[in-house]
Structure 1
Amino acid sequence: MPISRIAIGSPLEARHPEALKAALAEFISTLIFVFAGQGSGMAYNKLTANGAATPSGLVAAALAHAFALFVAVSVGANISGGHVNPAVTFGAFLGGHITLLRGLLYWIAQLLGSVVACFLLKFATGGLKTGAFALSENVSAWNALVFEIVMTFGLVYTVYATAVDPKKGNLGVIAPIAIGFIVGANILAGGAFDGASMNPAVSFGPAVVSWTWDNHWVYWLGPLIGAAIAALTYDILFIGNITHEQLPVADY
């Protein structure tokens, strides 16, 4: 059972050079991802003079996030595993693939990376607003919660299948692009309803910079629930009681 493999970790781990390097890698990867993703939305608003959203704008946002996440995961994979998402880190923790203390380091780095990216965007664009995630008309917080749970389930399930499973073999080579693709596809599915976050860090940075917290809890609770369901489902059903060592960071 994955729960039995959960580890707290040693306090010394939080100060270990390798753990700090991994956290720095998460900070940089998240900064790259949020800067490109959030920046694409700001560029669209500038080009349309904050006009109404269009199908082409949704496609552009999906492509920008898919490409940026592919790169962000790839550049961090050999150092931190390229989580770039507190929900992914939480799913890895529940499966026993990362300790609690290292996971908390990752969370701090990911949230800081998102905040710094949004501040840089605000400065570089001359003060343009970084748009916080918000619900569309006639979409309730509970509707959005279901969207976030299902979309994040698909994301973390993909992470487990392509990057975590010890039997993945050569499939691990395509993990970054598969992860980018599922995020892009989910944005096409849910972007018009709640913005399709799937990532608490992606929601946190714009909320801090714009100081907009309406329904912000949805963008934490939904992804964490979806990640937990995906991690436990894949680990119990497809990894099961196979004896395997905790995956080294280089492999995830």
Structure 2
Amino acid sequence: MPINQIAVGRYQDEVTHPGALKAALAEFISTLIFVFAGEGSGMAFAKLTEGGPTSPEGLIAAALAHGFALFVAVSVGANISGGHVNPAVTFGAFLGGNISLLRGILYWIAQLLGAVVACLLLKFTTGGLVTSGFAVSAGVSVWSALVFEIVMTFGLVYTVYATAVDPKKGDLGTIAPLAIGLIVAANILVGGAFTGASMNPAVAFGPAVVSWEWGSHWIYWVGPLIGGGLAGVIYEVIFIAGNTHEQLPTTDY
């Protein structure tokens, strides 16, 4: 990450420009789609099982719902905004010099609003069921939970860089949404029983606002932002900016 790649951006180009506003709208809609399906799956499972989303079956259902929903959310936003759907992804892209500060803030606002609106719609359409916020499981320390969120989000943003950002990705870019959805699903299976496996400040923010539950909420901002930021910097410095050799043609393997 050469420091000169980080840019603030011009207000007229990054905030009020029609292209920027369209991108922000795409992020709002994509995040709404993702949070509505992901959070809604947990609420549906709790209703069907009378409060059993923490069972193994509930964890698998949550992983599948989030993985499928993120695959779709990234796909439908990719050609307009890049399909970030996550403030941690946007932060990693900013530190890697792939998005300006002002555009990043615009994306953050859109993502957070999308998550809140999704949770409000869920509360309305389910007759007032609680959109429960993320919480650290009993027996798990806040520092363990923080490391969980850092590592899981690092894996997510590293996958985003490898499959969607890297200019050498080639045909791999076509499966970027699938790879991103799969890493989120896998991380939920690993960390869901410990922290809920947020990996996304917007996913934690929406339910917290609607249910007004803020216990340990800082973990779901600090962890993902550290993990996403590290992934963006490491991949940009080592594998993109530091690349000095020509990639071998596939016929040479």
Same fold per TM (> 0.5)? yes
Contact 2:45-2:53 within 8 A present in 1 as well: no
Contact 1:66-1:180 within 8 A present in 2 as well: yes
Residue number in structure 2 paired with 1:146: 147
Cα distance per residue 1:23-56 (max 9 Å; x no partner) = 0000000000000000000001101111362111
Distance 1:32 1:66 in 2: 12
Residue number in structure 2 paired with 1:9: 9
Residue number in structure 2 paired with 1:247: none
What displacement does 1:242 show? 5.4
Cα distance per residue 1:121-143 (max 9 Å; x no partner) = 00000000001001111011111
Displacement over 6 Å in runs of 4+? none
What displacement does 1:241 show? 4.3
Q: 1:86 to 1:52 in 2, by over 3 A?
A: closer
Cα distance per residue 1:45-101 (max 9 Å; x no partner) = 101111362111100100000000000000000000000000000000011111000
What displacement does 1:3 show? 2.9
Q: What does 1:160-175 correspond to in 2, within 5 Å?
A: 160-175=161-176
Distance 2:48 2:206 in 1: 23
Contact 1:3-1:95 within 8 A present in 2 as well: no
Q: 1:178 to 1:240 in 2, by over 3 A?
A: same
Distance 2:3 2:38 in 1: 34
Aligned partner letter, 2:235: Y
- The answer to whether 1:207 aligns with 2:208 is yes
Q: What does 1:97-108 correspond to in 2, within 5 Å?
A: 97-108=98-109
Q: What does 1:72-221 correspond to in 2, within 5 Å?
A: 72-221=73-222
Contact 2:52-2:58 within 8 A present in 1 as well: no
Distance 1:184 1:192 in 2: 13
Cα distance per residue 1:208-228 (max 9 Å; x no partner) = 000000000000000000011
Structure 2 residue runs without a partner (length 5+): 245-253
Distance 1:97 1:59 in 2: 34
Aligned partner letter, 1:176: P
Contact 2:53-2:59 within 8 A present in 1 as well: no
Report the secondary structure of 2:193's partner residue: helix
Distance 1:3 1:153 in 2: 21
Residue number in structure 2 paired with 1:248: none
What displacement does 1:104 show? 0.3
Distance 1:52 1:117 in 2: 19
Aligned partner letter, 1:118: C
Residue number in structure 2 paired with 1:45: 46
Cα distance per residue 1:96-118 (max 9 Å; x no partner) = 11100000000000000000000
Aligned partner letter, 2:81: S
Aligned partner letter, 2:232: A
Distance 2:18 2:30 in 1: 18
What is the Cα-based RMSD across aligned positions, in Å? 1.1
Q: Percent identity?
A: 75
Distance 1:203 1:72 in 2: 17
Number of positions where the alignment pairs a residue of Structure 1 with one of Structure 2: 243
- The answer to whether 1:22 aligns with 2:16 is no
Contact 1:122-1:130 within 8 A present in 2 as well: yes
Q: 1:16 to 1:64 in 2, by over 3 A?
A: same
Contact 1:2-1:94 within 8 A present in 2 as well: no
Contact 1:27-1:109 within 8 A present in 2 as well: yes
Contact 2:131-2:210 within 8 A present in 1 as well: yes
Contact 1:2-1:232 within 8 A present in 2 as well: no
Contact 2:71-2:177 within 8 A present in 1 as well: yes
**TM-score, with length taken from structure 1:** 0.95
